[in-house]
Structure formats: C-alpha cells, structure tokens
Amino acid sequence: MRYWGYFIGKLAGAAVGMYALWLAMQALLPEPVEFMRVKMGGFTQDLTWTLAYLLYWLLACGVLAFVVWDQRRRCRICLRRLRMPIHTGNWGLALLFAPPQTESICPFGHGTLASPETHTSTAQPESWERHGDMWEELEQMDQRPR
C-alpha cells in the first residue's frame, strides 16, 4: 500500500509541476497572431505555440517515464532505491536454462528485484522476491551445533 501511495504521490507532484509550467507558458508566451481579423488558434496555426506544445508534450512524457522508471527501481517495503546490481545467468544458455538477468537488492535486505535481460517472445516481467528477517536467519545459523 505504501509503495503505491508513494507512486500516486509522485504522479500528483509531477502533475502539479506540469500544471504550473502550463500556467507559466500561458502567461509568458505571446498571444497567437491575428490574421485578416481572425484570431488564429495556438496549435498548428502559430509556430511559437506549436513549438511550445511540442516541447511541453515531450517534457510531460519524459517526466512520466522518469516517475515510472524511478518507481520500478525502489524497494517494495521501505521505498529506498535498490542497490548493488549484479548480472546472473549465461548468454550461452539464454533461451532455456539460465536466462541472463540483473538482480538488485534493497540496502536493508527487504528483497531482491530480478530484471530479465532477454525477451524471447514477449516482454518478461520483473520479479520481486521478498526476504525474511535476516537477523532471525543469522541467529539460527549461530545456534547450529558445531
């Protein structure tokens, strides 16, 4: 729940920022020109506004892509960025036995994200593996007979 709440919060923050930029654009750019007593529309009829719309659209797509990219690389529990990416698998056995993937881990040990690097027929989904309590596991290792 916290993970998706953070994602919605980031989307809302990005939307507020883009709306503020939209208002600034409306205030700062000159009005579309008047041609033969007809006020031209901004989009596709005025070069300044058309370029402004294009750049605004590109920026909005970039902000949305960044928000999604950043969210996918966060821990599902504590929301910190995942660290220590390692490459596993083997490109020689990529199709069946050991597909190459990148595994990143939460710095506090909450889980591991495995991102496949080969997509044979369709895009392979990322998989999140939640870890147990690592202190409990260490205590169990310490209690083993030696």
Chain CA centroid to CA 117, Å: 17
Q: Is 77 in the site for Zn ion (CB under 5 A)?
A: yes
Q: Is 25 in the site for Zn ion (CB under 5 A)?
A: no
CB of 52 to Zn ion, least distance (A): 41
Which lies closer to Zn ion via its Cβ, residue 101 or residue 112? 112
Alpha carbon distance 110, 114 (integer Å): 14
CB of 140 to Zn ion, least distance (A): 21
3-state DSSP call for residue 26?
A: helix
CB of 90 to Zn ion, least distance (A): 29
**Residues 97-136, interacting with Zn ion (CB under 5 A):** 106, 108, 110
In whole angstroms, how far apart are CA 62 and each of 13, 55, 57, 66, 70?
A: 14, 10, 9, 6, 12
Stretch of 10-18, 73-81, 87-95, 122-130 lying at the interface with Zn ion (CB under 5 A): 73-81
Q: At what angle do helices 47-72 and 2-28 cross, to 10 degrees?
A: 170
Chain contacts with Zn ion (rule: CB under 5 A):
75, 77-78, 106, 108, 110
